[in-house]
Chain A
Amino acid sequence: DIQMTQSPSSVSASVGDRVTITCRASQGISSWLAWYQQKPGKAPKLLIYAASSLQGEVPSRFSGSGSGTDFNLTISSLQPEDFATYYCQQANSLPLTFGGGTKVEIK
């Protein structure tokens, strides 16, 4: 199985801050990586697929980068509605696996 490791596990930030979350795969996954946002009591929402492609109407302040084993999710200017938990997921091979999550909290 491919292990996905996210860091940090939590981050405190203020509105307007730039936030970067890292996801590392235990082996190369090309660009087969997705990022999700999950708010309490809600289902995850797909933000980014194929490492850097924005899904649907996701705001452009979200961006993804990386390939191989190291990936980043960046929020360029944190908004109040962005406080949530973020998960990465590899879509390179089965079983599909997720990172442990990064909670973005209000400072």
Chain B
Amino acid sequence: QLQLQESGPGLVKPSETLSLTCTVSGGSISRSEDFWGWIRQPPGKGLEWIGSIYYSGSTYYNPSLKSRVTLSLDTSRNHFSLKLTSVTAADTAVYYCARADSSGYPESDFQNWGQGTLVTVSS
């Protein structure tokens, strides 16, 4: 059974870089059918897609965050990562990693989700 688990600091200072990792167990992140994504949810608000990455390393970002986001993956460790630079209080949110079984297309829904991790931006 595929499981995803986010990890990283729960508190980040304004202007610094938010870094999270999603470790995948019960399956490989190298499957050609899958995209791996990050979605966030500010407290009490809706969902926002941040971006997705393919096993080949191809990345797709939300234009609203593109200038500050970098996704990467490490197939040897079976995990993928998110970096968000120059954070502000508006980046405070629960960050989810997720898998899209999409036959190799980034436009997809997400079948498997991590439990989410709250990241607070505050000095």
Contact = CB atoms under 8 A, between A and B. Distances in A.
A101 B46 contact: yes
Contacts of B47: 44, 87, 89, 98, 101
A95 B113 contact: no
Interface extent on B, as a size class?
Answer: 20 to 34
A43 B114 contact: yes
Contacts of B115: 42-43
Contacts, number: 54
By secondary structure, the B interface counts as: loop
A91 B64 contact: no
Contact of A94 (B96, B106, B109, B110): B106
B96 A91 contact: no
Interface of A: 1, 32, 34, 42-46, 49, 55, 87, 89, 91-101
